[in-house]
Structure 1
Amino acid sequence: MSNLTLAKRYAISLFDLATEKNEVQAVENDLRELKIVWNGIKDVKTLFTSPKLSINKKKELIRQIFANANPIVINTLLVLIDKNRLADVSDIISEFMILSNEAQGVAEAKVYTTRPLTEEERTNISSVFAKNVGKQSLNIQNIVDPSIIGGIRIQIGNRIYDSTLITKLDRLKRNLIG
């Protein structure tokens, strides 16, 4: 069985439990923070996936580090330690986010601009482009990229809406050169 299939199973179980306890948003918030720590600090991932550290020590560290996290998240991490699946944390979180977004009618979007978006711009982009993909709103990750010169590029799933100046110039160049 592939790691992604297992990650989906864990994510479904986690989502079902969070839904049953009416704590989906709290669990989602904690999982977002966990993903930042897990993927952002290489030593954390290395430490918890190391076979040199005992299972009991890993559990003790999880309880200490994530003491303020939702108990559902902590218990999930403890189960993953028992099943030797802690390396799959990122995939499980990603799958959970997909389930949560689907339930809430939200889509993840990467928005590339030359400068940070204002809150009003985020709201406008969300309301316009969410309708294009059949969602109620977008969860926007703003990526500042000065190389696009001007305009905006939006990636929602596998759809890309590109009205950047660099793309328009490239298109013009291709048309002129033939």
Structure 2
Amino acid sequence: MADSAAGSYASALAEVAKSNGTLEATSADMDKIDKLFSDPQVYKFFVNPTIDLEKKRKVIDDIVSTSSLQPHTANFVNILIDMKRIELVKEIVKEFEVVYNKLTDTELAIVSSVVKLESQHLAQIAKGVQKLTGAKNVRIKTVIDPSLVAGFTIRYGKDGSKLIDMSVKKQLEDIAAQLDIGDVQLAV
């Protein structure tokens, strides 16, 4: 996990957050940073070596004041800028999630569905994953996937290695395989 630069940065941030009792808030901050740097224009701005460091710090200060990031999270992003390692920010966010999940005994489950699922359905899915894994906590991330036709899939385990497929697409593929039809092309 911490064998990469991103893993080392993520572990260091998690240790700071754990030591000052802000692990949950720092995790929420990392979600905000992930959303921020998912915008290609924002990412390009910060990785552009021709843009002055002070200008980048000013933008971070503006972001901090509007999104209420923890002071140590803001300092962390500034360190990445100063050390010219901001290009690692997306990897660091992913690595932080791994470290956070390990520290809090949390299982990540990615639920894909055609439409947004109701919170009570997500709660039932979380309980089921918790029962399967024995994890203390389950964190659900949702993804909209129109190719499923209907139903949902759940990925969990190390690197999403386990799959529960309750989609209509899978059921149709299973029927086609039993009838030896071959590849089924679904018109969606």
TM over 0.5: yes
- Give per-residue Cα distances to partners, 1:24-76, cap 9 Å, x unaligned: 1111111101110101x211111111111112222222112222311111110
- Residue 37 of structure 2 is aligned to residue 34 of structure 1: no
- Residue 73 of structure 2 is aligned to residue 73 of structure 1: yes
Q: Show the counterpart of 1:52.
A: 50
Q: Show the counterpart of 1:171.
A: 174
Aligned-partner Cα distance in 1 for 2:147–2:51: 45
Q: Show the counterpart of 1:99.
A: 99
- Residue 12 of structure 2 is aligned to residue 13 of structure 1: yes
Q: Does the 8 Å contact 1:127/1:137 carry over to 2?
A: no
Aligned-partner Cα distance in 2 for 1:23–1:30: 10
What is the RMSD of the two structures over their aligned residues, measured on CA atoms?
1.8
- Corresponding residue pairs, total: 175
Q: Secondary structure at the match of 1:89?
A: helix
Aligned-partner Cα distance in 2 for 1:143–1:66: 28
> C-alpha displacement at 1:132, in angstroms?
1.5
Query: Structure 2: 5+ residue runs without aligned partners?
Result: 182-188
Aligned-partner Cα distance in 2 for 1:149–1:61: 42
Q: Does the 8 Å contact 1:109/1:140 carry over to 2?
A: yes
- Report the TM-score, using the length of structure 2 for normalisation: 0.86
Q: Show the counterpart of 2:118.
A: 118
Q: Show the counterpart of 1:131.
A: 131
Query: Structure 1: 5+ residue runs without aligned partners?
Result: none
